[in-house]
Structure 1
Amino acid sequence: MAELFQGVSWIGVFSGTIAAFLLGWLWYSPKLFGTKWADGVGVSMGSADEMPKAAMMFQILGLFLVSWLVGVTAVSNALLTIILAVVAFSVMGYAGGLFRKNSAYARGVDAGYWVASVVVMVVFQGIF
């Protein structure tokens, strides 16, 4: 159990979480991929007042856990493990999008976000 906490850069974990969340905000905004992604998953883009608060809270929690995983693998000099995990989770997410009949564009946007967010988390672990 100690390997989950010992030597982890918590500043890197928290800053990586925040940076990945902000990346998601931009990634899924109309400025980048949001509009076409929303069409591909069958949802409509709402206003800031209509933000799904529960979904956002779980997104932050999930990003924190992934950022923590990045921190643990960095301490263990096992960053290739996180690359394997990102590829595995991206493929599983892509498969989930196929089951939900999301468009190929939407599946690609989701997979791309996971890869980009973990790259951001790895960078923040390297900085801190």
Structure 2
Amino acid sequence: MAELIQGVSWAGVISGAIGAFLLGWLWYSPKLFGPKWAEGVGVQMGDANEMPKAAMFFQLLGLFLVSWLVGVTAVSDALLTIILAVVGFSVMGYAGGLFRKNSAYARGVDAGYWVASVVVMVICQGIF
């Protein structure tokens, strides 16, 4: 259990999770990939008053956990492990999009977000 907390940069973990969350806000916004992504997954984009609060909470929780994983791999000099994990999770997410019959564009946007999020997390670990 100690390997999960000992030496982990909590500033890096928290800033990585928040940075990745903010990246997602921009990534899926009308300014970037949002409208075409929403069309590809069969949802309608709403305004800020219609934000799915539960989904956003679990997104932030999940990002925190992944950022923590990045922190643990950074401490143990195993950052290549996180690359393997991100590739694996991105492929699984892509496969899930295929099952849901999401468009190729939407699947690519989702996979790209995961890769970009982990890059943010790794950078935050390097800074803090």
TM-score, scaled relative to structure 2: 1.00
1:22-74 per-residue CA deviation (whole Å, 9 max, x = no partner) reads 00000000000000000000000001000000000000000000000000000
Shift of 1:19: 0.3
Aligned to 2:109: 109
Q: Secondary structure at the match of 1:17?
A: helix
Runs of 4 or more, structure 1, over 4 Å off, are: none
Q: Matched residue pairs, number?
A: 128
Aligned-residue sequence identity (percent) comes to 88
Aligned to 2:85: 85
Letter aligned with residue 52 of structure 1: P
Shift of 1:124: 0.2
Aligned to 1:13: 13
CA-based RMSD: 0.2
TM-score, scaled relative to structure 1: 1.00
Q: CA–CA distance in 2 between the matches of 1:122 and 1:50?
A: 32
1:73-92 per-residue CA deviation (whole Å, 9 max, x = no partner) reads 00000000000000000000
Q: CA–CA distance in 1 between the matches of 2:30 and 2:49?
A: 16
Aligned to 1:99: 99
Aligned to 1:24: 24
Q: CA–CA distance in 2 between the matches of 1:122 and 1:25?
A: 19
